[in-house]
Structures are given as structure tokens and as C-alpha cells.
Structure 1
């Protein structure tokens, strides 16, 4: 009997080796049945069990490398320290600062975010959306050239190219004139892009303080799950202005030959902001810097976030709350917020996400609301840049369409990379987080929960501009797509459970 390694003929092996392989195979199976499901979602545990049972040695090795979403203990400890510092600095330990007039869903959402993320909902902010990736990078460079005290710069993907050179030069100039510049770059996220080594040399030669986030260098004792990444995008200047959203610090083509051949260009949605929310974004950066370096930037953090007293909270001064998420926080706090907002919708929900692979609670929430008569619209990429996620998300379309969800596909070769949600006429959620298992459980993300009718109107205008270019999927047409596509979609769907 050959329980494993079907490509080997055990009859050709020595008896002792054949018996040993069978015994090891049985022990692996028995061990993982009791060990692997602990503290994991059943669908995730089942996916790994299937992989290990079909290919025990390869499956077990893959699980040991990719199966844990735990970050090193020292990172968790530093995150808790920063959360305590921030909460201790906020007088009264309140989830909502000031005395704003809030709907009950907004107030409950703020309490949830504060409990899981440590940052309060606060008024007195302003936001300016940006749609053009390359132009936004140049604008950041202009702001950096006016910096007086500090610049905090953190991105998942960065590159050195014609578009970003003015940005890097501005950072170097700021450092040379005495501005405290600190740069964080995700290791795996950025290393594959052209001129990566040249960028490192440029920063080192200029003496700019910079560090890799979640570095994967086992020979230096730096190791965690390889695909556990910091996906955040943050720029904070002097504590007065900040930039965040879905956009990376690289040319809109990402400068890869395959992208250039296909004509791919990324379309993002990010924003500049002022007001107390800037200090919250800065707190996230300082937390990440502390996690990577053990250095606490006490001179460059204003944890003493003050409320801007404005009881009426008119539409020109939105309330906002930063939502940091990832393995360093309570389980999937961004997913908890999204589900809460969905279930409290009274009229409509609009979601824009380039990677939409909903886990069971999100899928149920959206289909429940659509079946209840809520107008639910989903804006997604037609093709995208990653085969597995796109094919996996297509496997959910039939159930979504059948429940009444409207699916709008943005045409290629543009990769619609914007990430936001609108609920009714007051609540919005915008940031770096996709709607997929990776962003909910594995990536460090940063999003912004905004309570503001004016922001809803602006984002709705963006959504309508996207929809004008989209093709709407129809249930009666979608169910007759070729069988080969259905098979491929469902195979890719299985892989999504192993993220």
C-alpha cells in the first residue's frame, strides 16, 4: 500500500525504508489532524489538510513555510506598547473625541475600531482625493521640499524610475537641510522591481535613515512567514499634512517588462489630508518604525490627539478614524468593520476593490443585504494583473449576481487599484486594504473610516466615473460562460483558502 509519494515505487526500496516512509506518512496525517485546526478557520484548516493528505511531505513543508500568520513575538510586544502609549495619551479613553452628532451605526463602528485599533474618531479634518498616480507622487515631492521638521515615508512597493526620482531627490534634499527623514520599505514588496539595488545605494550614500519592513533574511536571523507583508502607504510631513490610500511609490506601469508588453497601467485613489487624522496616521508610522528598529521617535509623534470642538460637525470638516489592521491587531479588525458597515446599511452599498475574494462572513453579509433590497454595487477589475486572485474572485460572481448584487467590471488593460466602500449617505472606508483573505489576515494595512456626507458625494462621483467605463455583468449571461472557465475559477477558489 502506497499512502504517499505515488511517484515512488516502494517495491524498489529496501524494506526498512519502505516501512519507515509509511510510518512517517501515517504520523504526519495523525499529527496534523489534531494540531493544524487549532485556532484556524475551518475552511483554511481544511484546505491545508487536503494539501497534506494528498502530498504529505510537500504539503507539510508548504504549511511550515506559509501556514502560520504569526509575526515574531517582539513585533507583537512593540505593537501593544505603542497602543498603550497612544491610549494613555488620549484623555478620557474615549472612542469619539469632541461632541459630534453621530448616527448609531457610526458611533458603534467607532467604538469597535477603537477597541481593536487604539485610535479614536475625531473631527476637524479635511481631505483631497487624488486620481492620477504619477501626478500625486510629484505633489508629494513638492510637499517634502517644504518640510521643516520631519518626513515619515512608508510604502509597500517603491521603485527608482523617471517618475519617482523627483520624490527620492526631495527626500534626500530634506535630509541634507536637517529635516528628520525616516523611510520604511517592504522587503519582498519592492525587491523585484528594476533599480532596486540602485535605490538602496542612493539612500545609503545620502545617509537617509531607512529600513526594510518584515525583512526576509534568515542568515541574519530575520524570518517570518514569507508572504506576511506590510502593505501600508503613508507619508506624514511635519505632523501637518499626510498622504495615504491605495497607491504605491512607483510609476503607474510598475516598470515590469510583462506589464509594458500588455500595456498595463494602475489606476489608484489616494488622498492628502490635514487635521487630527494626520497624527493618527503618524502614530501608525511610528509604530511600524518602532517594530522594525526598536527606536521610538518621541520627538516626531503627537500622541496627545486633541478634539476639534465642533458640535455640528458640518460637511466641510469630516470626522475620521484611522484603522490599522494586520497580524499585530485583534483578529481581522478591518473585516469586522466592513461587515458592521454592510449590515447597518439602509439604502445602498458601493464597494470598489481590485482583489475581491470574500471569506464566508463577507459573502453572506453582501448577499443578505442584496436579498433584503439594499442596492449593492461591486466594482472590480475585468482582468487584473494576478491570475489566481482574479480567477478565484470570478468563482463568487454567480452567487453574488443571483442574490441581486450588481457587478461592474472595469476594462483592461487598466488595473483599477482603488479600494473604498460607501454606505448610504454618510459613511465611507478608504485605504490600502483589499477585500480578500490576505488583506484581512496576513497584510499590515491602513484604512480610514470617514463620517462625512461631503466625502460620500466625492467618492460617489468617483464610483460613477468608474461605472461609466465598466461593463455590467448579467446573471443570465454569466452562467453560460465556457465550462473551462468555471473549472479554472473553482480550482483557483480552493487556493484562496490557503492564504
Structure 2
């Protein structure tokens, strides 16, 4: 046997060793769909699949970020131990109360009271409200966004932040590195803020030449703003204009349609706690938890809701957002309404949604007619057959707009909104934050948003979907597999 044959035999043996080893290691801690996708990549294109798996394939996040999140959760538990499961005066019923208890167990954050000051569905209105709140700041402002860009639309917010910094208000600003870096003005943004006395830091930076490296598939996707512990904003708006800095988008009328809640009351404390944890992760600076009043809780009064912040991400291996969505859908008895720009449910959520439809619950799904991301958009379409067969009503928000709001309502009595999509990335790879609310006016605001979408959307019929060409379904199914790797 010559040297080439020996090398060939060694490579063949090595390939089979890798594949056999992958069979027993890849599925650990991973859902079946993701496991299958990774195994296919390793088996059929090992030269690409294996290095990619070692780079971004692990379902676990270890080290400092995991440890700090666990410490933060324990701190929250200690400061809120005396609070009830549900604030006095609210009667959520045993099913919802158990969901609240589960989320508290997974995140350390209790259910407290909060007032829904406004739901902003227009970008200009959302930024104007943020600017007003920052303009009234007396002590501090905490800002955290996945994407931040100083443009014409966001200038009111940034100008208010600069003015606040110059008058002595402590402004802390976090933005995701990879999420923001591709937009105009990124390089000068930190400098402009620093000149106004604003402490600005990148979240999860990837700058190897400076010794900063993170798994590139893990990102901080949260969007929140807090003023003096009295007013907060949580939702889907990034801090960028509605056309996302693209002249082409603006020319064709492509605008992102978002939804952000402006809230006050005790629930602001939960938003503070999420920010404080992220601030410590990126800067090493501990913010005093007593400043946020974590041990406070209110009672039901006219106009208040019971509210619970539910953060999730790589620091939460139990998947609080996915468990929240799935548990609420299982508890539905009359109606479920879901709005998500990227709808790629895992097996448990898909089963919950279709089971709800089969047992007679009206299920409405609002998605964009055209997605802004090719792979996720086609992966989403691959679920339409199963959903339509179960009786789910799929409403397509008209292009060229991008429906980017992220919320869920159940039985017209409970709602969840925030930054989390219903896809694999948001379940496991992105840091997200959702807000659960019931017992006040929040759900009616969300249902009003549903009515707005319904008025302009068209319903996808099973007959129309069955006419989809075979080549389109092939692309959808390939993308469904690929989406499990992301």
C-alpha cells in the first residue's frame, strides 16, 4: 500500500470516527430539529459542518456570563423573597398563576404592579415619547438597544440624552456591537456620546485585536430605556429610523412596523434589574440594587396591571421565553393572537399552537407578507401547511412594510410583548426581554393593535397555499433545516 492509499484510508477512518462521535454528542442538550440539522451538515459537508459546529454549535454557554447571570438571579431572589406570587387585588386563575410562578423560578423576577402609559406603534411617536421622558430626567437614564444609530429619526432621543448628560444626569448607554456596526455613524457614535459625558459601552464586542472575542452567533437583542426608575420603555423598536438607514428602503416605502410599551410603576424595577445585569457584564461596574427598590410591591388600583419581566438568553439555559409562550398557549380556552416577524416555532410551541386550534381555540397569526431575511422568511413558510391544516388563521401584513412587532395575547386577558421573536435564535442565542401583563388595560391596547393589522392584512387561505409551486416548498424546507443551525 503506497503513501496515498495510507493517507486515504486514514482520512476515511477519521471521517467515520467524527461522524460516529457526532451521533452521540451533537444531540445532547439540543432539540431534535436542531440536532438533525447539525448532523446533516457534519455528515454531508464535514469540511464546513464540523468547524462551524465547534465555532457556534454548542447549546451551552459557560464561563463568566453564565456565572454572572446566576449570581444576578440569586440577588433578585434574595431581594424579593417576601413578595407574593401575584400582587394583591389580582385574580389570575390557577393556570396563569402557575405560569407566573414558573417565570419567577426561572428568572428571579417577581410579578408586581405597573401602569401601561402608552403603546407606541409608530416609530416617530415612540422616539418622541422617549425624548420627553429623557428630557424630564433628574438623576439617571439607562439605555440599551440591539441597534442604535444617530439619524434624523432618532435625533430627538440622542439630543435629549446629550442635554441630560450636560446638565449632570448620569446616562449609561449599551448597544450591541455586531447589531449596530453596519449602520452609518457607528464609529463616531461613541465619541459623540462621550463628549456629552455619557458612558457608552458595546455589548458582546468582537474585536480580536483588542483581546475581545465572543461567539459571533450570540447577541444582545434587548431594547429598553429607563428614566429615574419611574418610566421605562420595552418593545421591538430599535433606536434607528423606520427604514433602517437604507435609501432604497425609503424609496420603495419599506418601513419597519414596531410596537413599544411605555410603562410606569413597580414593573420598572424589573427593567432596571435587566439593565443592571447587562451593564455589569459589559463594564464590571455593579449598580446598587437598593437604588431600584427591588423589594417594593404595589396593589391593584384602577389602571394598573400585574406585570412581570421575563428576560431570556444564553445565560438562562432553561429558555424562559419559549416556556412562557408555550405555557400560555396551552392554557388558552378561547383565543390566541400571535404577532412575530420571524415565526419559526420549535416542536413544543408548534404542538401547543396547533393543539389549541384543534380544540376549538381561535388562533390568529400575524406575519409579514414579505420577510426581510431570506432564510428565516422561507423557514417560516415551511410551517404554514401544518398551521393551516389545524385551522390557524394566517394574516399577511402587506409588503413592502416589515411587520416587526413581537407580542402575544391569550383569551383577551393576558398579553406578552417585548424583543423576542418566535424563532430558534431568540429561544437560545439572543439575550431577550419580554413583559407579561394582565388585569389592567395593557391587553386591550394590544388587541387594538391586532385590529389595526387585521384591517390592512389579507388572510392566507389553505387553497392559495396548496397552489404554491414545488420549487418554492423545496426552498422553504431547506431553509427550515438551515434555520435550526442559527
CA RMSD in angstroms, aligned pairs only = 2.0
C-alpha deviations, 1:435-460, integer Å up to 9, x for none? Answer: 11111111111110001353222211
SS in 2 for 1:318: strand
C-alpha deviations, 1:183-209, integer Å up to 9, x for none? Answer: 000011111111111212212333421
Deviation at 1:237, TM superposition (A): 0.3
Q: Which runs of 5+ in 1 are unaligned?
A: 1-10
Match of residue 471, structure 2, among 471, 478, 484: 484
CA separation in 2, counterparts of 1:257 and 1:20?
54
Distance 1:339 1:16, change over 3 A: same
- Is residue 233 of structure 1 aligned with residue 223 of structure 2? yes
TM value normalised by structure 1: 0.93
CA separation in 1, counterparts of 2:79 and 2:440?
30
- Which position in structure 1 is the counterpart of 2:124? 134
SS in 1 for 2:183: coil
- Is residue 365 of structure 1 aligned with residue 355 of structure 2? no
Deviation at 1:261, TM superposition (A): 5.1
CA separation in 2, counterparts of 1:269 and 1:169?
22
Match of residue 286, structure 2, among 289, 293, 296: 296
Distance 1:217 1:72, change over 3 A: farther
C-alpha deviations, 1:110-163, integer Å up to 9, x for none? Answer: 101100111111125333111111231132122212211000000001112111
Distance 1:299 1:67, change over 3 A: closer
Distance 1:453 1:30, change over 3 A: same
CA separation in 1, counterparts of 2:346 and 2:389?
18
CA separation in 2, counterparts of 1:348 and 1:299?
39
- Which position in structure 2 is the counterpart of 1:255? 245
The answer to whether the 8 A contact 2:339-2:408 is kept is yes
Distance 1:13 1:374, change over 3 A: farther
Deviation at 1:277, TM superposition (A): 0.4
Distance 1:252 1:20, change over 3 A: same
CA separation in 1, counterparts of 2:3 and 2:457?
60
Match of residue 337, structure 1, among 309, 315, 324: 324
C-alpha deviations, 1:404-453, integer Å up to 9, x for none? Answer: 00000001111011111111131111111111111111111111000135
The answer to whether the 8 A contact 1:69-1:225 is kept is no
CA separation in 1, counterparts of 2:258 and 2:347?
27
- Which position in structure 1 is the counterpart of 2:35? 45
The answer to whether the 8 A contact 2:232-2:263 is kept is yes
SS in 2 for 1:376: strand
What is the aligned length? 486
Deviation at 1:16, TM superposition (A): 4.8
The answer to whether the 8 A contact 1:75-1:291 is kept is yes
The answer to whether the 8 A contact 2:60-2:317 is kept is no
SS in 1 for 2:16: helix
Alignment of 1:400-439 (within 5 A): 400-439=387-426
- Is residue 177 of structure 1 aligned with residue 167 of structure 2? yes
- Which position in structure 2 is the counterpart of 1:443? 430
Deviation at 1:91, TM superposition (A): 4.3
- Which position in structure 1 is the counterpart of 2:312? 325
Match of residue 194, structure 1, among 175, 181, 184: 184
Distance 1:385 1:12, change over 3 A: farther
SS in 2 for 1:60: helix
- Which position in structure 1 is the counterpart of 2:209? 219
CA separation in 2, counterparts of 1:493 and 1:276?
41
Identify the range of structure 1 (174-183 vs 163-172) with the bigger mean alpha-carbon deviation. Answer: 163-172
- Which position in structure 2 is the counterpart of 1:109? 99
Deviation at 1:300, TM superposition (A): 7.7
SS in 1 for 2:220: coil
Deviation at 1:99, TM superposition (A): 4.9
SS in 1 for 2:112: coil
- Is residue 356 of structure 1 aligned with residue 343 of structure 2? yes
C-alpha deviations, 1:51-86, integer Å up to 9, x for none? Answer: 011111211111122212443511111112221222
Distance 1:85 1:487, change over 3 A: same
The answer to whether the 8 A contact 1:186-1:215 is kept is yes
TM value normalised by structure 2: 0.95
Identify the range of structure 1 (238-247 vs 127-136) with the bigger mean alpha-carbon deviation. Answer: 127-136
Match of residue 267, structure 1, among 257, 266, 270: 257
CA separation in 2, counterparts of 1:453 and 1:181?
31
CA separation in 2, counterparts of 1:164 and 1:356?
28
Distance 1:221 1:71, change over 3 A: farther
Match of residue 269, structure 2, among 246, 268, 279: 279
CA separation in 1, counterparts of 2:16 and 2:291?
55
C-alpha deviations, 1:343-400, integer Å up to 9, x for none? Answer: 1111100111111011111111111110111111101000021111111111111110
CA separation in 2, counterparts of 1:430 and 1:305?
24
- Which position in structure 2 is the counterpart of 1:87? 77
The answer to whether the 8 A contact 1:377-1:405 is kept is yes
Distance 1:453 1:474, change over 3 A: farther
